[in-house]
A and B are shown apart, each in its own frame.
Chain A
Amino acid sequence: MLRGVGITKRFGGVTALRNVSFEVGAGELVGLIGPNGSGKSTLFGVISGFHPPDDGTVFFDGRHITGARPHTVAQLGIARTFQIVRPFTGMTVVENVRVGALYGRGERRIAVADRHARELVEFVGLEQRADTLARNLTLAEKKRLEIARALSIQPRVLLLDEVFAGLNPTEVRGAIDLIARIRSQFGVTIIMVEHVLKALMETCERIIVLSYGEKIAEGAPSAIAADPHVISVYLGKTYAAR
């Protein structure tokens, strides 16, 4: 469904991604891990059209989407969340979600978009905060809003960038539940970047590991956890740092 071939992305002198290829099938839940600065967010940026790659190709449903602009990618059905949440702070929760309901699905009527938005706000458990300005939400609520907003465009692929980061264990539980419900209700394909490994291990079918912009491993969670290379570059480092 989503496929990247030989993606390279440089920022000035920094090569954030080097010849990365990947493939994700319909309905899959794939984890993307790697140490800080290994290029995970950049890969999302490349897929979603924010960072046109210097080399390589992205295919969505067999269609070439490399270099397409973000709104086009969104309208095709690929949604992303931002690692650092970016709600429209001056809008209420429902107003935030309404934007995608109007522009992502090509709805014209505000009333209809509002209804979709309220349903999604309820789905992510923010109904009590529906008419609150987004700037007044807690971090956990902002992350939920970020997810509701991504869902508002009726995506077929969902790119989640560290939606667990900064949450306490209870909130992480809630977020894991939410992702399970998203899969069962919407059947979307998900790629998620996460540092909370335990959460990834128990939810993902497959994990891709990046290090210094290169893909160094890919496989079932159990295999990844046992891979000596992964342990040395990834687990070793982060655990040592903590």
Chain B
Amino acid sequence: MGIECLVLGAGQEVGKSCVVVTINGKRIMFDCGMHMGYLDHRRYPEFSLIPNSQDFSDSISCIIITHFHLDHVGALPYFTEVCGYSGPIFMTYPTKALAPLMLEDYRKVMVDRRGEEEQFSSEHIVRCLKKVTAVDLKQTVQVDKDIQICAYYAGHVLGAAMFYVKVGNSAVVYTGDYNMTPDRHLGAAQIDRLQLDLVITESTYATTYRDSKYVREREFLKVVHKCVAGGGKVLIPTFALGRAQELCMLLHDYWERMNLQVPIYFSAGLTIQANMYYKILINWTSQKVKDTHATRNAFDFKNVISFDRSLINAPGPCVLFATPGMISGGFSLEVFRHWAPYEENLVTLPGYCVAGTIGHKLMSAKIPTQIQLDEDVQIDVRCQIHQLSFSPHTDAKGIMDLVKFLSPKHVILVHGEKPKMATLKEKIESELGIQCRYPANNETVCIPSTHHVKAGASDAFLQSCLCPNFKFFKTDFERGSDLDDDFPQGDECCSTVQPGEEGR
């Protein structure tokens, strides 16, 4: 029996992550995501390809969700409440707390704004999340008598985790999305050295080597400062969770350092609520944020005020965080209409915008320009545009470092673009000598698994085998970064022992 990987999503693409792995007869689903680019059946993974798909609870031993992004958790309520899966589901505490916010937000957008028939209801989301078992990092969970799982810190977003799964003697790590360098509020991914048959890793930036993030943060602060100093208003359209908190911390620290009095506003109640979650879940942030929590919780943004519609045309400079991120509608669009015509104002854009959104149009626009909202409404855009370029994903070096550190027997790449994945595959095979595949959606890949024969060993046998010259070495893995001074690394570590010499 080998390890069978059925890629139901994020195969040679980014979107609807879902990989079904069968190890020694046990079937585990990693992530249950939704594709944000499609509205038809393609938005969900093709669940019918799972063997014995008339009874998912019987055919799947457990579901593991790596983080709260919709392309990783978006299809879960549909799978549990509509497709009828009733088995165990695991995710970290923050993911269990934050995923329902994301799901509910998405559901509202789909139903309320687009008038679409709903795929799942609020009730579905609540019932689905009730079935979830929350896990802590490094907590070993015995799912049944054969399956053991363990979560490791992945950076990326609050609560993101890589998951180690062991069935019998075979073991797999599924990374989900991860970041190998710490950012303003999260630490870098961290995992033990493990004996692995397979690593399934994301490869969003399979061929990108990024420069210092510090430079790009400085750039962002500079344009914001310049704008408010000139009396302008800054609109930061953002997702409610993750990026909003990161940018807000960045600005908040800067405001304190520079002693700025310009107000910073948060638009939606959702974001204020999200900040409360971040405050409770501060143990999941970076070491620096944790260390200071007793004196001041870093998510206690004391300069941040909640925004009121009447303030849109109030005089004077300000900074406003508003959802949604790509200015596809909602409050960020409403504010944009008012602020875009003035050249002293500034609008920041996220690193990636879906085609069809205002954000996407602005990315390629030459200012001044005009943007058509609908048949009758057209906006003059004279404000400055700044595109953010920091991403919470690891770059190619990070992927290579992780694969090298874990040294599995096989690697499967998901969550990336095909040509770039091909390049990375070559690199992994030639530089690390590890077999690597990047299957397309709905493709199955088989790799051999490890099997052991159980035996009893007498004390005399073990003693004569074991050389007394043990070597101890640190197995924890962390990569240094350009922000080393800013972000002291975690100090947890775990040691393993191997006989120094070959026993015989």
A-B interaction:
no
A residues contacting B by CB (< 8 A) are none
Residues on B lying within 8 angstroms of A by beta carbon are none
